[in-house]
Amino acid sequence: MKISTTTAKAVLVKSDLPASDYVANPYSGCPHRCRYCYASFMKRFTGHTEEWGTYLDVKEYDSCKIPKALGSKTVLLSSVTDPYNPYEVKFHKSRDILKLLVNSDAHVEILSKSDLMVEDIDLLKEFRDLSVGISLNTLDDGFRKDMEPGAPSVKRRLKALEKLHSAGIPTYLFISPIFPYLTDIRAILKATAGNIDKACFENLNLRGSAKKEILGYIAEKYPQHLDGYKAIYTKKNMIYWTELEAELQAMSAGYSIPFVNYFYHDKIKKGGQHD
């Protein structure tokens, strides 16, 4: 892993994502090495030529001032990196940003694949308006290793949700990305329902080199589903997602928590996060 320091203008950047007004990305790059990662496009803005997942830029800031009038705005950590990647233990950049936000009136959301968030429970409990999400798309740690080789195990993520929820911190599960025919949503919800206050869902969206990568993986490991993947990602057939959306709506009746659907990436605005 190549570790460097870089300078950004500000801690918070205005976001065009549908569920956040500002984002904070303490790092550029991510060591999780997720094979489907959309954030590899960031290389266009950082000038890196290394393979995505093999470098990490640790950010310093020209200004650490946080806007005073955040009001009911939502701030997300993070959108194009994992704020609690393994190097957070050394550089604690996410914790530093949270210290800047702890007394703000914003709604702060943290989304990570990591269990390292539990190390900051003391700080997280000080927030007036906070929610913490764990991203998970399988209970099969073999599949997790194939797709997210640098990320924490399924067991560690489930334990993190339990610890955070037990500490009284609002928690949510982000079932993302959903791999058609492979992600068992019902099983994941069954394993986590007692430790989450909300469940969010996002479809697998393949762009650029990730499309070839994942279709090749499916052809090798799950050839029985290759035709289905080609229908979705080559022929742009949306039937799978519309049927799954209807299934999720029906499923939500059996749970006492909100379900939030983030399907249909083509309707999500682009840009606004090139810090």
Secondary element (H or E) of residue 121 = helix 121-124
Per-residue pLDDT, 274: 37
Per-residue pLDDT, 40: 66
Per-residue pLDDT, 16: 84
Tens of pLDDT along the chain (275 residues)?
899 999 999 999 998 887 899 999 999 999 999 999 876 666 566 676 778 778 899 999 988 888 877 888 999 998 889 999 999 999 999 999 999 999 998 999 999 999 999 999 999 999 999 999 999 999 999 999 999 999 999 999 999 999 999 999 999 999 999 999 999 999 999 999 999 999 999 999 998 788 999 999 999 999 999 999 999 999 999 999 999 999 999 999 999 999 999 986 544 433 333 34
Per-residue pLDDT, 67: 80
Per-residue pLDDT, 43: 59
Q: How far is CA 101 from CA 2, 9, 81, 113, 177, in A?
A: 29, 17, 19, 21, 28
Per-residue pLDDT, 42: 61
DSSP strand pairing (27-28 vs 22-23) = unpaired
Per-residue pLDDT, 272: 35
CB 123 within 8 A of CB 77: no
Q: How far is CA 215 from CA 39, 161, 221, 231, in A?
A: 18, 31, 10, 11
